[in-house]
Structure 1
Amino acid sequence: MTEAKKPLIVLLAAPETSASVLYGLYDVLLSVGAVYSDMVSGSPGDELLDIKIASADGKPFHCIGNIPVEPHMSVNNQATPDAVVICDMYTSIYDVPKGRYPREIAWLRKMHADGAMLTSVCSGSLLLAEAELLDGKEATAHWAYRDMFQRHYPKVAFRNESILCLAAEADRIVTAGGVSAWHDLAVYLIARFCGYKHAIETAKVFLISGHSEGQSPYSVMTRPMETSDAQISDCQVWIADNYALAKPVEQMVARSGLNPRTFSRRFRSVTGFAPIEYVQALRIEEAKQMLETDAQSVDDIGSSVGYEDPASFRRVFKRGVGLSPAAYRKKFQRIAQIAKPIAAG
């Protein structure tokens, strides 16, 4: 009897890839079917997935941290995998990867045309955007790339709150958020190709719990200052210290000397935010930092950042962060409890 062909999953990596993502995915996916039974009964099972590492030319290289990588194959390999995982390809939030991965992008287009599922972790989705495979679709990456997607890939509906974006699953495209979102993607791939039972068992082996609350609680507002528009730049500097004042947008408009409609248009063009959204994001960012480190009541924190109505503060906070102020404080206090003994020395 002929042995059933294992699903082939290819991990696409480059020198800009994090070793934790590449080798974490490799270890977890390779263990499916084998390790759980060994741990609970002392009898290892069969590996259910065929996992290969690929790079542009297939030659050994060093990834981030000078960690050696020996790929199994190059992108010239003609075999069509069941799925490709584009590992993170780190780039600065100012450095759009135009023209940086031509061979990888050509291969991704071909693999997708041939029927492979394409998935990505973190900045790996930039390659899918460069390949124009995300045009007209929802997708995610690390929250820090929100502005890059809005400015340079406007045809992509960027979901900065998502850990695992399945909106384009029917088109065989799934994207995952920050680097640790590879956990969620791994569980998804195991369930898809090996079944729910193996996904649960593997999660138990590696203590993978997923990020059910999404990226929003971890997101930080990125505030690159615009220098080409002096009036808007001046308002950005001013509002950074005056976000708690009453009617801050009206004060920025008056400061700029522009009419409200022109100000709003130019402000959005420069920052990616409507003026009131920008103010709210600044206020919430400050409130988050206070909740992490300050013992003040939630109502007092809301008042100090510009919300006299506690209900309004809670509503805006939860809409932006995905958690109530109290739940956010509780979540990050756990981290503080781990860090405090170390900080105390």
Structure 2
Amino acid sequence: MNTAKKPLIVLLAAPETSASVLYGLYDVLMSAGAVYPDMVTGAPGDEMLDVRIVSADGKPFHCIGNIPVEPQSAVGEIGKADAVVICDMYTSIYDVPNGRYPREVDWLKRMHQAGALLTSVCSGSLLLAESGLLNGHQATAHWAYRDMFQRHFPKITFRNESVLCLAAEADRIVTAGGVTAWHDLTVYLIARYCGYQTAIETAKVFLFSGHAEGQSPYSVMTRPMESNDGPISDCQVWIADHYASAKPVEKMVERSGLNARTFSRRFRTATGFAPIEYVQALRVEEAKQMLETDKLSNDDVGAAVGYEDPASFRRVFKRGTGLSPAAYRRKFQRISQIARPY
């Protein structure tokens, strides 16, 4: 048996953590080096990583779904590690994310100062954001947190299309997107600490294929509620039913009674979108639903949401989803075929 010191990977969890993320990470990281040889030769290999679950106080708790968790340590008992993975910690997109995890955030700053690689899954990046360690960097989380990052952490560039954001890797920070992005993060960690071949073998064991298309095909426009700005709120209500009309921004400006520049400024303040971006996002959302369920041709879908020029529709759609309309239809038809018996 290999007695060399193993890299220590610490999984930070809380009651708001998903069991699938926490235990998925734990199972896969613990399997690195051990399971693949057993499957191929019948002789298990040595586990290559030391993986521990920690929480703020180290006491047993129940995570989402009332699943029991028994941490091996409190954060204060771990002073040094090779890497920390901040599991997802669910936060409503309408909540204020600051101040929820003070002990964990302070500990993360100490761990980073001591040389640890800090990584996160989904909403776990909110703790990194609050720590200030992401300021001036690009980062990702689940696509639904885009507006929250823009409101509360304006010094961070949010990459809602990314599954695994390595932009701050040189500063020992890596963030992963939506919850199943832990697959990609796990492969990355195994490659970094156990080698590329072990990462490939582990991916074969668990049938990981990665998310090469990013998050964009899965993202949905998270529209803010109608604002307190009366003219803008009225335009939001109107455009929800008239997004396919010709010259929709001009019509909203006329409807608001404001000049174009004032309207654009107030609209962005209220919604987080420029007016034309808002219209395009609405059109793409409607087109996505039609491509998922209707039998109209791709060009007819484009026309139905307001694009007479098929090339313009394809360009706007791909910018919003990362896929062409045809590729998007194929992707989600496969999912519908799986779900159809139910």
What amino acid is aligned across from residue 71 of structure 1 in structure 2?
A: P
Q: Equivalent residue of 2:331, what SS?
A: helix
What amino acid is aligned across from residue 16 of structure 2 in structure 1? Answer: E
Distance 2:192 2:149 in 1: 28
What is the distance in 2 between the residues matched to 1:163 and 1:217? 11
Contact 2:227 2:271 in 1 (8 A): no
Letter in 1 for 2:305: V
Q: Deviations over 1:37-75 (max 9, x none)?
A: 000100000000000000000000000000000001111
Match of 2:171 in 1: 171
CA distance in 2, matches of 1:180, 1:152: 25
Equivalent position of 1:265 in the other structure:
265
1:98 deviates by 1.5
Aligned-residue offset at 1:79? 2.9
Moved over 4 A (4+): none
Measured in 2, the distance between the counterparts of 1:36 and 1:12 equals 26
Supply the distance in 2 between the matched residues of 1:78 and 1:295 (Cα, whole angstroms). 57
Task: Name the structure 1 match of 2:71.
Answer: 71
Say if 2:84 and 2:117, in contact at 8 Å, map to a contact too: yes
Contact 2:226 2:237 in 1 (8 A): no
Q: State the secondary structure of the residue aligned to 2:127.
A: helix
Deviation string 1:228-272 (CA, Å, 9 cap, x unpaired) is 211111111110000000000001111111111111111111111
Q: In 2, distance between residues paired with 1:162 and 1:227? A: 29
- 2:131 matched residue in structure 1: 131
Among all aligned residue pairs of Structure 1 and Structure 2, give the percentage whose two residues are the same amino acid.
Answer: 80
Establish whether residue 217 from structure 1 lines up as the match of residue 217 from structure 2: yes
Pairwise CA distance, 1:172:
0.3
Structure 1: gaps (5+ residues)? none
- Any stretches of 5+ residues in structure 2 without a counterpart? none
Corresponding position of 1:322? 322
Hey, what's the Cα distance between the residues in 1 that align with 2:312 and 2:4?
A: 58
How many Å apart are 1:319 and its aligned residue?
Answer: 1.0
* Number of the residue aligned with 1:237: 237
Q: How many equivalent residue pairs?
A: 342
Closer, same or farther in 2 for the Cα pair 1:2/1:313, shift >3 Å? closer
Structure 1 partner of 2:196: 196
Query: What one-letter code is carried by the residue in structure 2 that aligns with 1:149?
Result: F
CA distance in 2, matches of 1:171, 1:287: 40
Aligned counterparts of 2:152 and 2:115: Cα–Cα separation in 1: 27
The separation in 1 between residues aligned to 2:270 and 2:212, in whole angstroms, is 33
> How much has 1:2 moved relative to structure 2?
9.2
Q: Secondary structure at the match of 1:341?
A: coil
SS of structure 1 residue aligned to 2:136: coil
Listed one character per residue, the Cα deviations across residues 129-170 of structure 1 (whole Å, up to 9, x for unaligned) are: 111111000000000000000111100000000000000000
The residue identity in structure 1 corresponding to 2:47 is: E
2:217/2:321 contact within 8 Å kept: yes
Change (3 A) 1:45 1:224: same
**TM-score for both structures, normalised by structure 1:** 0.98
TM-score scaled by length of structure 2: 0.99
Q: Classify the secondary structure of the residue corresponding to 2:186.
A: helix
Q: Secondary structure of the residue that 2:77 maps to in structure 1?
A: coil
Distance 1:94 1:141 in 2: 15
Q: Contact (CA 8 Å) 2:318, 2:324: kept in 1 or not? A: yes
Alignment RMSD: 1.0
Q: Partners in 2 of 1:78 and 1:86 — Cα distance?
A: 14
Distance 1:258 1:323 in 2: 36
Say whether residues 1:42 and 2:42 are aligned partners: yes
In 2: Cα distance, 1:227 partner to 1:288 partner: 26
